Amino acid sequence: MSGRRKASKSPQANNGCGDAACGANSASSEVPGGDKCGSLMEDRALLTNLLEAAASGNKDSLLAAINKVAQKYGTRNASGTETPASATPEEGESAAAGAKGPAATAPQAAEGTECGKFGLIPDLLLGFRDGEGRTVAHFAALGGSAEVLELVLRVCPSAPTARDSYGKTPLFTAASLGNTEMLKLLLDSGGDAAARSKGGSTAVHEAIYWTAVETLQREAKPNTTSSMGTPLQIAAVTQQQEILKLLLSHGADPNNCPGSDPGTDPTVDTGRDSNASVSYSSPFPPALILAASKNDCSCLQLLLEHGADYNATDSEGFTALHCAAETNCVKCAEQLLKAGADWGIAAAVRGRIDSPRLGEAPAVAQLLEPLGLSPQQKRPPPQRPSSNQRPAAAEAERTGPTGSTDGPAEGAKQAPPVLITLDPTAPAPPEAVARVEKLKEAGNAAFRKGDFAAAKVKYSEAIEECPKVAAARELLGVLYSNRSFTHEQLEDAHGALEDAQAAAQLRPEWSKAQYRLARARRLEGAEEEYIAQLWEALRLDPANTQIQ
C-alpha cells in the first residue's frame, strides 16, 4: 500500500468542500469547529461504515451509516435541541426551515431541507476520507448505484468537486469505470469535466478506454496535457480508432508534441482550476509516431486526414516514416510517402545509422531504397503509456514519467512481499493438476461444513502439490485465496494477509484476490488499508455483488 497520512494531516487543501463542512458550524457538535475534520478522520468505525456502504451500492446501508453519523455529529436547531437522526422527511424539513430562518436564500434553504432530514450540515460527510483522501462521493461513484450517488449529492452539494489527495474528483472515478450514468449525474450536479488533477490530467484521460469519452466531451478540453500525455496520444497508443475519431471531431490537436511550449499552451486552464498548479507538455511522441510504431494504418490515416504533421519528430529525431521502416509496415510507409513525408528530414538521425535494414525490413527497404538511407539499428522504443491493461493510465497518472508519485509515499509501511517464482515454459502435468483439484475440492467440502482447520490442511497440501509453473498460475492463485479465507475464519490475521498477498501477486487483476487482501487488512485492524484495498477490488470488478 502507499503511505498514509495521519488524520490530523489528511490532505484537505485542494478540495475546499471538506474544510467548509467541518468549519461551518462550531455549534454542530461538542467538537470545536476547527477540530471537526480531525475528529471525523479519527472516527475509524464511522468512516469505514460510511465509505463501505457507499461502495456497496446499497442505499439502505448508506442511510443507516448516515444516521449513525447524524447521531454523533448532528446539527442543532435554533432552540438548541438536536434534530433527531430518525426524523421523518417532513419533520426534518420543518426543523431545517426553522433553523435557517426567513433570511435564508433559496439554494441555502434547499440544501438545509435535504440535510435536515438527517440532522447534518451540508457537506459534513465529505470530512470523512480514506488514506488517499477519497470521500463518500468517490466511493459512491465507484459503487455504480445511481440512487446511492443521488443521495450523496443531496446531502453533500459540493460532492461533484471534492478532490482526493491526487486532485481527482468523483468524475475521474466514474470516467475510469466508463459509467455514463454516474458521469451524467455528476456533470448535471456541477461536476467539471475540465478539472485537472495534480498530474495535469482530466477525466477524459481516464475515460479513453471507454465510450464514456463522448459523455465528457460536452465540457472537456481534448488537448489537455498531463504526465500521461494527451487523450489523443493515449487513444493512438492503445489503438482505439473510434475514440481517436471522436477526439479529433471535438478539436483534438494531432500535433500536440513534446516540443510544445507549456507556457503558451492555451489548454492549460490555470485560471479555472487552481488545482493544476503545474503546466505540462507531453512527454511522449506525437500521436502519428505512436500510430506508426503500432503499425496501425487506420489510425495513422485518420491522423493524416486531420492534419497531422507527417514530418514531425520525436525527442530523438525519428519520424513516423522511420517507425514504419523499423516495423516493416509497407502500408504505413506508403500512406506517409503519399502524404508527403520526407525520408531525409532527420539528418542527425541518419548520421548515426548505417544502410537500409534489408534483412529485417525488406519490403519497406525496397520501397525506400531509391530515397536514400534508412535505419539499420533498431532503436529502443519511445516511452509511452501502456496499452496492456485499463488501469495502466491511472498508474501513469500516479507515478508520472519519472516514477515519482503524486501522493504521500514517504514512510510507507508495507508488509514484506510474498515472492513466488514460476517456471514460464514448463507444462503443468495433467495428473498433478488432477491431484491438486481433488485436494482443493476436499478443502472446499470441509470449509462448507465449518471445519476450517481441516480445510486449511487440504488447501496447504494442494498448494504444496501444485506445479509451480506459469500454466498453473490461476489454480495456484485460487488455492492461496481459499486458504486466506480459511485463515480469516480461524482469526489468523497474519496467515490471511500472507496468503492474500500471494494470491494478488499471482493474479494481480483478479478482484477476489484484492478483496481477500482487504478482508485480511480489516482482520488485523488496519481500517485505512482495508478501505483502500476494497476500493481496488471494486475498481477491478465493480459489478461483483459478492464483494459489495
Q: State the CATH number of the domain containing residue 492.
A: 1.25.40.10
Q: What is the pLDDT of residue 283?
A: 60
Long-range contacts for 94-97 (Cβ within 8 Å, ≥24 apart)?
A: 95/119
Instruction: Look at residue 545 and tell me if it is in a domain.
Output: no
| Beta-ladder partners of 315 | none
3-state DSSP call for residue 121? coil
Of 93, 125, 153, which one is at a domain's C-terminal end?
153
- Assess whether 80 and 147 both reside in one domain: yes
CATH number at residue 353: 1.25.40.20
> Which grid cell sits at 363?
519490403
- Assess whether 15 and 145 both reside in one domain: yes
Of 118, 153, 188, which one is at a domain's C-terminal end?
153
Instruction: Look at residue 497 and tell me if it is in a domain.
Output: yes
Q: What is the pLDDT of residue 109?
A: 41
- Assess whether 149 and 22 both reside in one domain: yes
- Assess whether 118 and 34 both reside in one domain: yes
Of 153, 180, 204, which one is at a domain's C-terminal end?
153
Q: How far apart are CA 187 and CA 210, in angstroms?
A: 17
Of 449, 407, 498, 442, nearest to 4 (Cα)?
407
Instruction: Look at residue 106 and tell me if it is in a domain.
Output: yes
Return the amino acid letter for 327.
Answer: T
> Which grid cell sits at 118?
438527517
- Assess whether 113 and 22 both reside in one domain: yes
For the chain, residues with pLDDT lower than 50 are: 1-35, 76-112, 210, 212-213, 215-216, 219, 258-280, 346-359, 373-415
User: What is the residue range of 315's domain?
Assistant: 287-371
Predicted TM-score (pTM) of the model is 0.45
- Assess whether 450 and 312 both reside in one domain: no
State the total domains in the chain: 3
Q: What is the pLDDT of residue 413?
A: 44
- The pLDDT tens digits of the residues spanning 35-61 come to 455 556 567 888 888 998 888 888 999
Instruction: Look at residue 236 and tell me if it is in a domain.
Output: no
Instruction: With beta carbons less than 8 A apart as the criterion, state whether 87 and 115 touch.
Output: no
Q: What is the pLDDT of residue 172?
A: 87
Instruction: Look at residue 495 and tell me if it is in a domain.
Output: yes
> Which grid cell sits at 159?
460532492
- The pLDDT tens digits of the residues spanning 511-547 come to 888 889 888 988 888 876 777 777 777 777 766 655 5
- Assess whether 116 and 22 both reside in one domain: yes
- Assess whether 31 and 137 both reside in one domain: yes
- Assess whether 323 and 457 both reside in one domain: no
- Assess whether 18 and 92 both reside in one domain: yes
- Assess whether 141 and 13 both reside in one domain: yes
Q: What is the pLDDT of residue 360?
A: 52
Instruction: Look at residue 527 and tell me if it is in a domain.
Output: yes
Instruction: With beta carbons less than 8 A apart as the criterion, state whether 176 and 542 touch.
Output: no
Q: What is the pLDDT of residue 139?
A: 93
3-state DSSP call for residue 319? strand
- Assess whether 336 and 451 both reside in one domain: no
Instruction: Look at residue 413 and tell me if it is in a domain.
Output: no
Q: What is the pLDDT of residue 113?
A: 54
Residues near 113 by beta carbon (within 8 Å), at least 6 away in sequence: 92, 93, 96, 97
Query: For the chain, first and last CA: distance in Å?
Result: 21
Q: How far apart are CA 20 and CA 145, in angstroms?
A: 26
Instruction: Look at residue 240 and tell me if it is in a domain.
Output: no
Instruction: With beta carbons less than 8 A apart as the criterion, state whether 343 and 375 touch.
Output: no
